[in-house]
Chain A
Amino acid sequence: MNIDGVSNGIVLDHIKAGKSMIVYDYLKLWKLDCCVALIQNCQSPKMGRKDIVKIDELIDIDLDVLGYIDPDITVNYVKDGKLLKKKHLTLPETLTNVIKCKNPRCITSTEQELPHIFKLVDSEKRTYRCVYCDVVSDTTN
């Protein structure tokens, strides 16, 4: 199966197989007017199977969100059909309004206007903790 290369846009590569829909949702790619291609389960010499997302426009991407979903994703910026830059991700130190605190006793459960802020406490286990109530986030991936 062939999907055209991107001439001006972004290719999110090395997404763990099955996670491209999570990337699509978290980055709110459904809001874009341009073409977006989700390629699932393609073969990868490095990963066995992987997903790829191609976005046919050079948009601002929230790298913190992407790093949270999977820090092994690589972000390729393409201009005029050439690779402009390749970015490797890291786990973000802080997540603001990316995930929600699910503790019913947390102040964020009653005060809807408050930003949901989480801090990275253990990068090995990818653990984040709510800055208000200290409850550890559910891992979504």
Chain B
Amino acid sequence: MKPRSIVSILDLSTEEINNLMDVADDIEKNPEKYQEKCRHKILSTIFFEPSTRTRLSFESAMLSLGGSVISTADSKSSSAAKGESVADTVKVISNYADIIAMRHPKEGAPVVAAMKATVPVINAGDGGHFHPTQTLADLLTIRRTKGTLSGLTIGLCGDLMFGRTVHSLIEAMLRYPGNNYILISPNELRLPEYMREELAKSGAVWEETTSLEYAIPKLDILYMTRVQKERFFNEEDYVRLKDTYILDEEKLRSAKTDLAILHPLPRVNEISVSVDEDPRAKYFYQTLCGKQMRMALIMMLLGIQ
């Protein structure tokens, strides 16, 4: 039987996501209960694209579960640099590891990996497409800070076109009722049509704006994103758009006192460092939530209770 893989957040049911969050909450309270859960299990992190935090988060998650990690040093020295296909790579690694976390610059590469691997594959980001474990981190951060995943007004700001975390977060939040969405982006980086169709089909209330100042007083959640240089074919476009939105204390003056500011990180300059001390800044806490959700997901895919 084909092992279960997670390519998109849609591969998880709402009930499973809620269970993962419950496990993550238990990990937070009783970490010692989990420190031997994945003993003798091996996670392989194969990253065809540079990443620091996601790879380290997966590795830290597996080590905290008592498992081991094998990893490629960097994408330039990997087999892909020699022209090996994704299918061949994962067939080989399936013989070395019990579970794979993969990042690839090409969209859909984890779909190929999941088809060909004989162990579970977790998509750790594929180009501008999906990044389901970041979404799990986002959901847990929202649930822990707001106490709910329903009835919220969520502002998504920055690069909504190539920002894979934005797409996955919308897909996930659409399952919870009563959420409103405000899409804040320059015209060139609007949410792709297929995602706008999803929003329209869902019946959710949503609007688009280019103004962060207009949106900010209405928001319960502000999800900031970086304009990613690596997604542009043209340097000029990147330079023109990269500083469109910069969140600072001045802009936050009109925000709600219980706003939660999230960011998938790394940040460049879209959130001023002065905001870090604001109690509404949750983006560093979000990385802890991410690690705990990855722990819960690894356990689920390995069939460990």
Contacts and interface: CB of A to CB of B under 8 A. Distances in A.
Nearest to B130: A134
A54 to B, nearest CB: 40
Q: DSSP class of A's interface residues: helix, strand, loop or mixed?
A: loop
Contact of A131 (B85, B86, B108): B108
Contacts of B111: 107, 131-132
A106 interface: yes
Contact of B107 (A105, A113, A114, A136): A105
Contacts of B129: 105, 133-134
A123 interface: no
A97 interface: no
A80 to B, nearest CB: 46
Contact of A111 (B112, B126, B127, B128): B112
Contact of A106 (B106, B193, B194): B106
A136 B109 contact: no
Given A103-B107, A105-B127, A107-B106, A114 B112 contact: yes
Given A106-B107, A107-B106, A131-B111, A113 B128 contact: no
Given A105-B127, A133-B108, A111 B86 contact: yes
Contacts of B109: 107, 132
Identify the interface centre among B86, B108, B109, B111: most chain A CB within 10 Å of its CB: B108
B108 A132 contact: yes
Given A105-B128, A107-B106, A110-B106, A132 B85 contact: no
Contact of B85 (A109, A113, A129, A133): A113
A79 B109 CA distance: 47
Given A105-B128, A111-B86, A133 B107 contact: yes
Contact of A132 (B87, B107, B128): B107
Given A113-B85, A134-B129, A108 B108 contact: yes
Contacts of B126: 107
Q: How many residues of B sit at the interface, in one of the four size bands?
A: 10 to 19
B85 A136 contact: no
Q: How many residues of A sit at the interface, in one of the four size bands?
A: 10 to 19
B104 interface: yes
Contacts of A111: 85-87, 106, 112
A106 B85 contact: no
Given A106-B106, A111-B85, 8 more contacts: A106-B108, A107-B111, A111-B86, A113-B85, A131-B108, A134-B129, A134-B194, A135-B107
29 contacts: A105-B107, A105-B127, A105-B129, A106-B106, A106-B107, A106-B108, A107-B104, A107-B106, A107-B108, A107-B111, A107-B126, A109-B106, A110-B106, A111-B86, A111-B87, A111-B106, A113-B85, A129-B194, A131-B108, A131-B111, A132-B107, A132-B111, A133-B107, A133-B127, A134-B108, A134-B129, A134-B194, A135-B107, A135-B194
Closest 9 A-B residue pairs measured CB to CB? A132-B108, A133-B107, A107-B106, A133-B108, A107-B108, A107-B109, A105-B127, A105-B107, A132-B111
